[in-house]
Amino acid sequence: MLSLSWFHVGRTTGYKLTVLVQVGIRLACDVVAAGVGLGYFAWVARRKVREEEASQRRRREERENGILW
């Protein structure tokens, strides 16, 4: 929001923003930000699970082949 603070919708068009329009814009920005954050969280969590599964698979294969640490 800070990076967009210089932008004013009504400056060039003469459209006067009401409180409800401002609330709608803010709500839309917040919803998008929450969606991006949730998507990033899901991506990181899925990557972590895959890394852990690969690590367990590698350890199991090493045990089966007689390679112990």
Averaged pLDDT, 37-61 = 94
Nearest to 33 by CA among 9, 8, 11, 4: 4
Q: Return phi, psi of residue 30, to 5°.
A: -65, -40
Averaged pLDDT, 14-33 = 88
Averaged pLDDT, 34-57 = 95
Q: Is 1 helix (H, G, I), strand (E, B) or coil?
A: coil
Averaged pLDDT, 18-30 = 91
| pTM exceeding the 0.85 threshold for the entire prediction | no
Averaged pLDDT, 18-37 = 93
Share of the chain above pLDDT 90, in %: 48
Whether the pLDDT of residue 1 is over 50: the answer is no
